[in-house]
Structure 1
Amino acid sequence: MGRLATLATCQLDQWCLDWRGNTERIIRSIQKAKEAGARFRTGPELEITAYGLLDHYGEQDTFDHSWELCAEILNHSDCQDILLDIGMPVKHRGLPFNCRVIALNGKVLGIRPKLWLCNDGNYREMRYFTPWKQRLVEDFVLPDAVQKLKGQKKTRFGDLIYQFNDGTRFAAETCEELWTPQSPHEDYSLLGVDIIVNASGSHHELRKLDKRVNLMLEATSKCGGVYLYANQQGCDGDRLYYDGCAMIMYNGNLLAQGTQFSLNDVEVLTVTVDLDDIQAFRNSRSRGLQAMDIAPYEVVEVDFDIYRLTESDPTARITPQREIRYHKPEEEIALGPACWLWDYLRRSKTAGYALPLSGGIDSCATATIVHSMCRLVVDAVKQGNEQVIADAKRICGEDEDWIKAATPQDIAGKMFVTVYMGMKSQSSKDTRKRAADLAKAIGSYHIDCNIDILFDAFSTLLGTILNFKPKFKVHGGREAENICLQNLQSRSRMVLIYAIAQIMPTVRGRNGGLLVLGSANVDESLRGYLTKYDASSADLNPIGGISKTDLRAFILWARDNFDIPVLAEFYDAVPTAELEPITETYVQSDEADMGMTYEELSVFGRLRKVSKYGMYSMWQRLVADWSDKYTPRQVYEKVKRFHFYYAINRHKMTTITPAYHAEQYSPDDNRYDMRPFLIESSFSWVSAKIEKMLGMMEDKKAEATGEQSETADQRNGEKAS
């Protein structure tokens, strides 16, 4: 052992436009880093503003306030004698940039703008920021707030390398730059950079963490050195949950990993490494040859010692490597949306949540996620989390002693209302009982009621106005009548749940109102199998970005891990909307109504969004993938049916409830899935092309088997019918 350096990264639960709160959390992270002996601290991307500010980045106030609070941090007595890497937006040459401000003892050593901007999926950085050029460096005139600290007028702005007194080097890359084919850390490493920091605003998606980890492991396995990864954690005011999981990698090994899902506002990771080991790790001759071909960077000299000698501190210990921790997808569903819901609840200053609990698996999953949230609150209280205790006291309306003794069911009883809104002829005893049993198990304040009086009033009014009384299909009604009455029910439930949510705290002697939770899964949204402005229309939807397949797996996981046996009944039940009367020979089935299974919907969704397949290429792919169970023509009928309903129901996505983003094929029109909502629904040209291919395939098969194939006229006649 020789030169030991203690370094810190962190994850912060920042909130858009919470200037004071964000600044206090940054200062707390610096304090924690110093308490652990760190000489260097890095933080999340755009941490002063919070990442997801969107069009607020177009306001000059955003840039001015960022500098004012940056100056406050640099001048704080607890923020001295430690090298700081702070994320914030900066304007240079009148252009906006996503930047890292590198500072020491009140002076700005340099500003590093982001080179490669993320501009797909949930991200629109090119809308707000300008990409910087690699290796370009210019002078930057500091704002008055910073000049007043130390009299410093200028600093360097650009793609820089920083060098300490002993020759140790560090450099910064930002979020997306780790994911690009030619990441900056490759050149930095070849130029002798020992410490690379990555400040991120990376959101949670199911099964995504392994990609992030693998990129960092590969970077340090090939390049060596220390890699400090910082990330935001929590809901900063939108559909995304930033899942923390700050990490420190070292020569291809993990040394530290933060929580991926927690209610912590500030979490700091520190490690101690031997800088001399980096040189030994990089002793490859081929590496040396490559290093000689790399164009140089401008280097900023930093008058600071990042290390301490082992002789001066014989008790110092190098941080050992550890195993990487991954959550199962079922755990991710239990934890991610639960943390998102808690952040939204505490920051919106509302009294709790209300949920239409139908007795089906979707609303069951939403209720179980709220139960998971209550469990996380209880765990955080036991750990002495002061912020959670303060928030829980306000939300539950109880004192600290009650909060510290509360169970998850106690918490739910104060802030979670579930409502079963049935109808005498449509709702089964099974769904009503399942809803009541689940409410009892999780402790929600449960209401069991029928909406017949509300439905009858609407349908009677409709009949009076139109002099026409619509009937259900099972009573002889036509398709339009049947759909009209189904939608009338579901929209009646939406009106009622909002009324209950508004007045229930008053009824129970409390102030405020409740937020309404929706429970339409991502597959139903994709297919449009929901009523616009029905019970799926709500304030928030924690499962709106999760597939039915994953939700079913989550329910089984929660049954065992949360010890809620009744969840098995939800898992086994046939999915049904219960919007049509039940008879001896008919019970409505979701999959029968849709003409496809939820598993098939999930496949369609991934091919459409993730693989970017159109109708024709989707058919080609599935002819091969589904050859063991469907003929090419059957595949075509399913693909065509999906595209038809996707097209005619696309308009529903323009008003969809804001949902937790969890799946890569979410159809959320508001930002993630930017597609028109009025498109040609017959896909006539593509259909004709597939029909032609099918004719050729069927003719060829008939020739091979000796069977007589259909003529073109027969095929066209079948299509016309």
Structure 2
Amino acid sequence: MDKGFEYMRVASAVPSLRVADPYYNVKEIIKICVKASDQGVRVLVFPELSMTGYTCQDLFQQKSLTDRCQEALKLLLEETKYLNMLIAAGMPVRADGQLFNCAVILKEGKILGLVPKTYLPNYGEFYEMRWFAPAYKRMSETITLCDQEVPFNEKLLFKDDISPLCVGVEICEDLWALIPPSSYHSGYGANLILNLSASNDLAGKADYRRELVKHQSSKCISAYVYSSAGEEESTTDLVYSGHCMIAENGILLEEDKVWDGFIYTDIDLEKLNNERVRSNTFIDTIGKRDYKYVAFNLGCSENLKLKRFVNPRPFIPSSPEVRDRRISDIINIQAVGLAQRMKKINSKKAVIGISGGLDSTLALIVIIEAFNKLKLPLTNIIAVIMPGFGTSERTYKNAHAIVSGLGTGLREISIEDACIQHFKDIGHDIDNHDVVYENAQARERTQILMDIANQEGGIVVGTGDLSELALGWCTYNADHMSMYSVNSGVPKTLVRYMVKWYADYKTAGNLQKVLLDVWETPVSPELLPPDKEGNIRQFTENSIGSYELNDFFLYNMMRNGYGPEKIYYLAKIAFKDEYDREVILETLKSFYKRFFTQQFKRSCMPDGVKVGSVSLSPRGDWKMPSDASYELWMKLCEEIEK
């Protein structure tokens, strides 16, 4: 990372262990601290009671053990005082005439705080209340530990004065409680939760732990670093596996069962904080609680190679199984939206323009699914093929094959004569292939569809997708307009996958072959005449840039709230083998200019359902003035060039 970009490198570690040998254990902890520091780790978490081992049982009540643990802590403080790292380790602490199971938080030789465990399991194989007192029984706000006056409170948060980092701590069973302490920690500002754990292994328990961590990180809109005791704990009755996990807002970033080692990754504080700003109900339910904040200086990770996956196609799940389920869900959502609209306006027919391209093919598929839900005959779907000056032989044949293969109604109406007459009427030279030449064709097609809908008592179904809305790649009051727009929430990169999915799983024979050819056809409005061989001459991505890049920019601006510099930085990583830096930057500048200047089209877009986390509906997710300036974003892009 050339700059921090509000990434923080965090780690979960399981050191080698000897039960009831604090000095040995601390030396092993120190080894990992040094190794982690060499990897640029800024926050490091060890398991519950990692200085003694979790399985000491009645030995916890031996003063010799707790005294020795404090002496070992002094060694840990001394040996890590030159490391710019926040360290969380577990130890038993005597205070107020009781023994507490604590997380000790330290940095550069100073103890920042002690966090006692809130919920002590005393069921099944657990007997913690035999040895420890729960946090609510503490009486002191501070205690003296290793000659330092230390905050002692379960409601402690550790706030970095340099970065947006705010850390909350809970211990093992706390996560399993009805309302985990981390829920309150997050409400009061913690965007990173550390869990020092000692969760034994049982058949299926790792899966349950994983879901707990993912779910809690999602509920808290936080990062969550979990470290559980390892194999060298006593195996008198139980086995521990060293389960380490790092999650971020419901996504598992790293996971492993480690022994004498650690896992690490970079969490995105900007992404988390942006998500919280959007969620106005996030802190509404936490109530008033007396939290204490401990300040420290850490700073974001910088000058490191980013250690997390950057998805070049963020709208498309990486897992084929998840992708298939997602596509099926989206088509169903689209179909339900259209079916309900038709039902409520008492429409029995749908009218759609079919070009032989991706968007109109997907829209026709959705209409068919809606008609199946409504139990209407597919012949009530009026698919209109409207060849014009730019129609290629490939798309023309595919359009006919699609309509024939899907079994809908069909009309073919050439727009050429109407456009020629129109050019005469307005005094436009037909050989002047400017914006008038192109847009007149688009508006003629829309007029035909609207008039047929009136003629048949039907509804015009729009085909434009989310990417086109973002870029304004549609003709105002032409393909921009319909009576219901089924693709308005689907980005172009996903449209392509959806058509292929339908071909693979829902069709066979010639129809499947045709749909796969549509999938491979270059995206084009086909408004300019084809070449001498009848092939497509006009390619959309030559005008606006790659849809892969534009969808990447759209997702990261809308969903994650990133600015140009961070989007450019991530795009360089995601597309390092596909696009050079100049292409990425020029496409980014074009994206911002088009996104701002084309808002007027989105401000009056037709109804259409939201299907994913990004939507541009002016009635729902995106409210923006049509005349906002894009100068700030252009200047930020220009600073990247410098």
Decide which structure has the larger Cα Rg and report it. 2
For normalisation by structure 1, the TM-score amounts to 0.43
Structure having the higher helix fraction is 1
